[in-house]
């Protein structure tokens, strides 16, 4: 009886497992089908190495093309995997040894083939043969190029500028001679990003779709230009075709985030993003550009803060005034700066608010007190921070050159 029950139980378990596996398989098939049905037009395919190799056969192959290909290969390794220069040297050394080994194998094969050919055929060499001296010259030139690329950082950067219009970060000298910050020109970054045809096509497509969707229902807001502030934006009023451009500020820690010295090496980073890109593309790392970086402690100095933001503000003004020339388009594109966004701490820091939230009025949106933070909002009343009130406070700070209402070190520049 027990044996029968055990057998029935095993059979039942087997059937249940089979049903479960079948259901899981069906769910996976449905998921794969949904992924296949995803609109491929909303995906940017950044080229893979194999794709570059296959496309290279359509171009003129020479030593310059080989050098450009190898520089691009190393650049992707360095930037995509954060590899150090000594690792790049190791990779180049390995490639050099590999090519030399292939060279020796080819020479050995050539000698064996020549002996066999001379013993069996008395006719002159065919077009399929290659002079050993020519092969030696090609291999020698290849080895010379790949070793020269990684000879030093200056040489590598020079080749990146030659082949990929690379723009080096500009050094910003702060008040102290030993303190520096770095800035990447925004216009150069946008040119590089939009010089890719499928990115430009996708940008214009999404722009037109949002305009048409808003025209069909003006109550819906799809981006900044449909908001109240967007409708009175000084650039968008005169240039409605201007593309939206926003900045993002945040701090990163270069040390152990939970260690005792977690705040000693914090770097303030500023990034940019084109808001008119589709959401599926906007979130990709290749769609987010770096603008500037500075040691956070340096920005506690009022003069350093001004020096750091001066080139950014000037670049934003030029961006909105003259636009950016896009080579692949052969024309200028207009841009409108919208917002500077960041987390609570970064926004308070850049706005001059207090960065310690365990006392006083800690909220950027209202005047709620820290002692009231655990009280339900429906049991207390607290005034909201209004734009006019804040502008008035900022003006008083500028006039008095003092701290007022927990706002200090305001940096004002017209945009």
Distance of CA 254 to the CA centre of its chain: 19
Residue 24's pLDDT is: 52
Cβ atoms of residues 185 and 320 within 8 Å: no
Do 160 and 176 fall within a single domain? no
pLDDT at 310: 94
Look at residue 300 in the predicted model and tell me its pLDDT.
82
Residues 91 and 152 in one domain: yes
Residue 9 confidence (pLDDT)? 36
Pairing of strands 243-253, 335-342: parallel
**Residue 400: inside a domain, yes or no?**
yes
Closest residue by Cα to residue 95 from 159, 152, 146, 160: 146
328 and 180, same domain (yes or no): yes
187 within some domain: yes
| Residue 241 and residue 101 share a domain | no
CB-based contact 151:158 (threshold 8 Å): no
**7 inside domain:** no
| Strand runs labelled E in 89-194 | 170-173, 180-183
Of 147, 164, 181, the residue that ends a domain is: 164
- pTM for the full predicted model: 0.64
Does 8 fall in a domain?
no
Q: How many separate domains does the chain show? A: 3
Residues 104 and 62 in one domain: yes
Q: Is residue 160 part of a domain?
A: yes
* Whether 253 and 389 share a structural domain: no
Over residues 274-284, the pLDDT tens digits come to: 999 998 888 88
Instruction: Let me know whether 115 and 80 are in one domain.
Output: yes
Domain co-membership, 271 together with 250: yes
Check whether residue 56 and residue 149 sit in a common domain.
Answer: yes
Looking at the fold, whether 322 and 202 belong to one and the same domain comes out as yes
Among residues 295, 316, 342, the one where a domain terminates is 342
What range does the domain containing 366 cover?
352-415
d(CA 293, CA 271): 9
Residue 347 lies in a domain: no
- Residue 170 is encoded by which pair of tokens? 């500009």
Q: What pLDDT, on a 0 to 100 scale, did the predictor assign at position 42?
A: 46
Residues 182 and 202 in one domain: yes
Query: Is residue 134 one of the residues assigned to a domain?
Result: yes
pLDDT number for residue 205:
92
* Domain shared by 317 and 394, yes or no: no
Per-residue pLDDT 10s for the chain (415 aa) are: 444 444 443 334 444 445 545 555 555 565 555 544 444 444 444 444 444 444 555 567 788 888 888 888 888 888 777 777 788 888 888 888 888 888 887 777 777 766 665 666 555 555 456 677 777 888 888 888 888 888 888 888 888 888 887 888 899 999 888 899 999 999 989 988 888 888 888 998 999 999 899 889 888 888 899 888 888 899 999 999 999 999 999 888 877 666 666 666 889 999 999 999 998 888 888 889 999 999 988 988 889 989 999 999 999 999 999 999 998 888 999 999 998 888 777 777 776 666 777 777 777 678 888 888 888 878 888 788 887 887 887 788 777 765 555 554 444 443 3
Of 307, 342, 377, the one marking the end of a domain is 342
Q: Degrees (nearest 5) of the Cα angle 376, 382, 384?
A: 120
CA distance 275 to 230: 13
Tell whether 260 is covered by a domain: yes
For residue 306 the two structure tokens come to: 């001004």
């Amino acid at each position: 009886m027990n044996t029968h029950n055990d057998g029935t139980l095993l059979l039942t378990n087997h059937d249940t497992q089979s049903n479960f596996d079948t259901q899981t398989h069906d769910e996976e098939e449905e998921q794969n089908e949904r992924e296949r049905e995803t609109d491929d037009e909303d995906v940017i395919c950044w080229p893979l190495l194999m794709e570059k190799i296959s496309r290279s056969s359509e171009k003129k192959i020479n030593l310059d093309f080989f050098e450009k290909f190898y520089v691009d290969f190393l650049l992707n390794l360095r930037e995509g995997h954060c590899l150090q220069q000594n690792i790049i040297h190791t990779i180049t050394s390995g490639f050099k040894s590999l090519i030399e080994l292939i060279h020796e194998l080819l020479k050995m094969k050539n000698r064996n083939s020549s002996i066999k050919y001379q013993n069996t055929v008395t006719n002159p060499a065919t077009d399929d043969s290659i002079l050993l001296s020519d092969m030696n010259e090609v291999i020698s030139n290849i080895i010379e190029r790949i070793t020269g690329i990684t000879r030093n950082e200056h040489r590598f950067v020079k080749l990146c500028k030659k082949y990929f219009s690379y723009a080096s970060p500009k050094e910003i000298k702060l008040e102290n001679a030993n303190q520096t910050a770095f800035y990447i020109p925004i216009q150069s970054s946008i040119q590089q990003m939009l010089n890719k045809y499928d990115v430009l096509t996708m940008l214009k497509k999404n722009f037109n779709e949002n305009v048409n969707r808003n025209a069909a229902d003006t109550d819906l807001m799809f981006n900044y230009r449909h908001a109240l502030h967007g409708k009175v934006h000084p650039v968008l009023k005169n240039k409605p075709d201007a593309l939206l451009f926003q900045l993002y500020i945040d701090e990163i820690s270069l040390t152990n985030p939970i260690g005792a010295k977690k705040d000693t090496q914090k770097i303030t980073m500023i990034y940019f993003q084109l808001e008119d890109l589709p959401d599926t593309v906007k979130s990709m790392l290749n769609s987010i550009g770096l603008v500037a970086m500075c040691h956070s402690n340096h920005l506690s100095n009022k003069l350093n803060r001004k020096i750091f933001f001066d080139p950014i503000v000037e670049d934003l003004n030029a961006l909105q005034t003259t636009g950016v020339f896009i080579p692949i388009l052969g024309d200028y594109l207009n841009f409108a700066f919208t917002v500077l966004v960041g987390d609570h701490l970064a926004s308070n820091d850049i706005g001059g608010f207090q960065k310690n939230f365990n006392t006083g009025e800690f909220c950027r949106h209202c005047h709620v007190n820290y002692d009231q933070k655990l009280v339900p909002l429906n049991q207390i009343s607290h005034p909201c921070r209004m734009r006019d009130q804040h502008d008035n406070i900022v003006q008083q700070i500028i006039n008095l050159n003092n701290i007022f209402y927990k706002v200090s070190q305001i940096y004002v520049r017209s945009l």
